[in-house]
Structure 1
Amino acid sequence: MSLSARLGIVFMKGLAHVPLPLLRGFGYVLGRILHSAAVPRRRVVDKNLAACFPDKSEAMRQRISRETFVYVAQSWLDRSWLWHAPREVVERRTKLVGAPADIDEVLNGTTPLILFAPHFYGLDAAATSLTMRTPRESTTIYTTQRNPMIDDWVRISRARFGNVKPLNRVDGIKPIVAALRKGGMLYLLPDMDFGRDQSVFVPFFGVPAATVPSLSRFSRLGRAKVLPVLSRVTREGYDIEVLPAWKDFPTDDAVADTALMNERLAGYIETMPSQYYWVHRRFKTRPEGAPSIY
């Protein structure tokens, strides 16, 4: 296991020097192979798309399914240069998009801030792009990888630029809230299903989805603004779109806040449906008595 992990890391370091068009071409071929070969995961994608886009034709959903596997492969290979290429390469290939005032709020602000970063395939590019351009302390939450070598590689790579403090999920909420109240920034990916005990059921594309209410709770406890950050794969690298801060958020109702989060997320996904993380079993936890989607 350690040898294969070591070889994989060496392989990724080597890819960091491959020209981007060639790397993306490799990713395209790999993604098409994965779509054909990874049958169980393809079924998850197809079930997700059928549940969320019942009005789209089967042909359109199949096109999205094929494209999403290409983005899976391309974004994973892109971590080679995101995590190992020189700083100037990463800066050139990641572009911040949005109103100057909103971008300045992220990079130079001093008030507590949560970046709502949905699971688009470019989420690592967005995190790296922002932390390398700001002196602000940034906190991110991660889940420990099974292989210690891979865990160290991922954790160190995500913190290679800027003032980044990775926190494990098992560390609890206290260090996260403390960092926010000191004027820090939290890069948060809350569009996840962590099981019945840690989630609330709210609609996602009209389907009840177990969703962690952490965006509302961290925002309230940390007295923090929420700004969405959307990552988009482009031919030149990535566009990192910073949207305006949500107004009147959070409220005293975490369930209503989480429902609003999913509603707005659905609107973001509609703009680039192939780039969302459909390979995840988004509906794995079902309401009592509801049949499995998968």
Structure 2
Amino acid sequence: MKIKISIAFIKLMSLFPLNVARNIGKVLGYCAYLANSRMYKTSLTNLQLCFPDLSSQERKILARKSLMHTGMMLAECGSVWLWPVEKILRKIEDVEGADLLQNARDLGKGVVIIGPHHGNWELVGLYLSALGKISLLYQTPKHKDLDALLTMARSRGRAKLYPARTKGVAAILSALKHGEMVGILPDQTPGLKAGEFAPFFGNDAYTMTLISRLIQKTGAKAFLVYAKRTGKGFKIVIKESDNDIYAEHMPTSLIGLNKTVELAVKDAPEQYQWEYKRFRHQPEGKQEPYKA
């Protein structure tokens, strides 16, 4: 029932101008803050771990802002998923670092796009699919209606969507070997034996090894790309990844991956998805922070 309501909400939001949808999303996020919701409590826990130097009041303010941005993200899905591609792309007001990505693509090698849950990550794939072929790896939703909506929305332009399973990994590996772009969300908790612990803002985070392995196997370049929310639209930001990501030593490479994600977070910490339980898996003997 919750999924059906969410889909109906997204479709409704597509009927409104972007600024109106955002304001509705802000209200939803603010309500989650006022209700002292689980999302708010998780956000506070994550912020305490990642930004211990902030005061308690500063973390509460940041958690509130983050929930409001999460509400905006949900509301924006109506525009990003259901508007004509040309219409939503016109909401991109600026692109930083476009030359970095273009220069890498001109070399003919594959490019790994690291797109964390920051700003509006759905817009990133749409923007990149307008530039060239891109293969996107995603976790298949259990609800078939949501899966159908996601598949339709993310497969527009020159994008190809692959489930995060063996065949999907083989497909994106092939795409990289053919000099194409591949997009992966780097800050989801991977499955068993698909990750290792690496520091994220100084805390042990179970981190996927897939991105590092793809780079090691293909010699691909890796870039951080995110769509930062601005007053009237979005700014696409493209940055080179931390150089450690290219290390053959897996622990070092994973440090580089998480440092790359940190670059986006530091740019606009309120736009990061702090309500995700990033640290729920801990090394043996350490307590999960969300149960404390």
From the superposition, tell whether residues 219 and 96 of structure 1 become closer, same or farther in structure 2 (CA, over 3 Å). farther
From the superposition, tell whether residues 57 and 222 of structure 1 become closer, same or farther in structure 2 (CA, over 3 Å). same
Structure 2 equivalent of residue 170 of structure 1: 165
Q: Work out the percentage of aligned pairs sharing the same amino acid.
A: 25
Q: State how far apart, in whole Å, the 1-side matches of 2:62 and 2:30 are.
A: 12
Matches within 5 A, 1:13-28: 13-28=11-26
Query: Structure 1, unaligned stretches of length 5 or more?
Result: none
Q: State how far apart, in whole Å, the 1-side matches of 2:52 and 2:66 are.
A: 18
Which of the residues 71, 79, 97 maps onto 2:95? 97
Structure 1 equivalent of residue 68 of structure 2: 70
Q: State how far apart, in whole Å, the 2-side matches of 1:80 and 1:108 are.
A: 34
Which of the residues 249, 253, 276 maps onto 1:253? 249
What's the CA shift for 1:155?
1.3
In the superposition, the TM-score normalised over structure 1's length comes to: 0.90
Matches within 5 A, 1:104-115: 104-105=102-103, 110-115=108-113
1:178 match: secondary structure: helix
Q: State how far apart, in whole Å, the 2-side matches of 1:246 and 1:84 are.
A: 34
- 1:45·1:279 contact (CA, 8 Å) conserved in 2? yes
From the superposition, tell whether residues 292 and 248 of structure 1 become closer, same or farther in structure 2 (CA, over 3 Å). closer
What's the CA shift for 1:190?
1.6
Which of the residues 221, 224, 231 maps onto 1:225? 221
Q: State how far apart, in whole Å, the 2-side matches of 1:81 and 1:102 are.
A: 28
Equivalent residue pairs, number: 289
Structure 1 equivalent of residue 270 of structure 2: 274
Q: Deviations over 1:29-82 (max 9, x none)?
A: 111012223622221111111111111011110011001111111011101011
What's the CA shift for 1:20?
2.0
| Aligned residue type for 1:261 | L
Aligned CA RMSD, in angstroms, stands at 2.2
2:165 match: secondary structure: helix
1:179 aligns with 2:175: yes
| Farther off after superposition, 66-75 or 40-49 | 40-49
Q: State how far apart, in whole Å, the 1-side matches of 2:110 and 2:94 are.
A: 20
Q: Deviations over 1:234-275 (max 9, x none)?
A: 121211111136557522112111112212322331221111
Q: Deviations over 1:104-123 (max 9, x none)?
A: 34776632111111221311
From the superposition, tell whether residues 105 and 84 of structure 1 become closer, same or farther in structure 2 (CA, over 3 Å). farther
Query: Structure 2, unaligned stretches of length 5 or more?
Result: none
In the superposition, the TM-score normalised over structure 2's length comes to: 0.91
